[in-house]
Structure 1
Amino acid sequence: MKVEGRIFHICTAFFFAAAILYGFWAKEPVGIVGLTLTGGLSLIIGSYFSFVARRVEERPEDNPDAEVSDGAGELGFFSPGSYWPIACAASAALAGFALAFFHIWLIVIAVVLVLLSVGGLVFEYHTAPDKD
């Protein structure tokens, strides 16, 4: 997580420097606000990564002397086959279509479908705790 934190802190410095330079050069308020807010958001993400990096064990990515074989092993659980992402994409497309033509009845249906499909994706492998 240290590498990711450094990357976002470098981006933060760039965005704030670009906002200052843009302020002197263009004197246009919308660009200054946009660059400043972008720098603030990247600062939040970089600070979070730096905070988490102190609380987790060191990963091979954080060790400059690491070998490729240090990162071998199980990476996590990935769904072998799920149809929920297709449902999420279809319902998001329907929501975009409904918003483009501004049909209120279709927007309501699309929002319900988006919520159902995202809920299905999130809780796909959720199991209730064992009752002993």
Structure 2
Amino acid sequence: MKTEAWIFASCGIFFLLIAPIYWFLTQEVTGTTALVMTFFLCALVVFYLGVVAKQIPARPEDRQDGEIAEGAGELGFFPPFSWWPLYAAGAFAVCMLGIVFGWWLFIIGAGFGAVAVCGWVFEYYRGLHAH
């Protein structure tokens, strides 16, 4: 993770150095704000990667003497198929139509959305893929 953190830190430093130069040359607020916000996004990623790098042991790809076979094994939990994102998207579409046609439809969509989000969050607590 340290290599990834250094890559993002380099990009963030670049954007931080370019932002005042861009402001001086163009006097444009939108582009300067975008460059500053890009720096903050890079800083956020660097902070996350730095914290995670301290919490996990050294990965084989981070070491010079690391072997490919050391990276074998379970990499994590990857969820199988799920219908809940489709239901959540449908509820969101009903909410957006509710803004256009009437707030009563928005309330119905919000109700369906609450059920869809709860189903999506708790789908691994029961049923076929329970943990």
TM-score of the pair, normalised by structure 1: 0.75
Q: Which residue of 2 aligns with 1:47?
A: 47
Q: Percent identity?
A: 39
Identify which of structures 1 and 2 has the higher relative contact order when contacts are C-alpha pairs closer than 8 Å and 6+ apart.
1
Please state if 1:78 is matched with 2:64: no
Match of 2:14 in 1: 14
Kept in 2, the 8 Å contact 1:13–1:39? The answer is: yes
Q: 1:115 to 1:67 in 2, by over 3 A?
A: farther
Q: 1:118 to 1:24 in 2, by over 3 A?
A: same
Instruction: Tell me the residue number matched to 2:129.
Output: none
Q: State the match for 2:32 in structure 1.
A: 32
**Could you say if the C-alpha distance between residues 81 and 18 of structure 1 is closer, same or farther in structure 2, counting changes exceeding 3 Å?**
same
- Residues in 2 aligned to 1:44 and 1:18: alpha-carbon distance in whole angstroms: 18
Say which SS state the counterpart of residue 54 (structure 1) adopts.
helix
Gaps of 5+ in 1: 128-132
Q: Secondary structure at the match of 2:66?
A: coil
Give the aligned length: 126
Q: Which residue of 2 aligns with 1:130?
A: none
Q: CA 1:7–1:105 in structure 2 vs 1: closer, same or farther (change >3 Å)?
A: farther
In structure 2, distance between residues paired with 1:90 and 1:12:
38
Task: Choose 115-124 or 90-99, whichever is displaced more.
Answer: 90-99
What is the one-letter code of the residue matched to 1:37?
M
Q: Whole-Å Cα distance in 2 between the matches of residues 7 and 96 of structure 1?
A: 39
- Structure 1 position 97, deviation (Å): 4.3
The whole-number CA distance in structure 2 between the counterparts of 1:90 and 1:107 is 12
What's 2:103 paired with?
A: 104
Task: Return the offset for 1:26.
Answer: 1.1
TM-score scaled by length of structure 2:
0.76
Q: Does 1:57 align with 2:54?
A: no
CA RMSD between the two structures: 2.4
Cα distance in 2, alignment partners of residues 9 and 113 from structure 1:
42
For residues 80 and 17 of structure 1, what CA distance do their matches in structure 2 show?
44
What displacement does 1:50 show?
A: 0.7
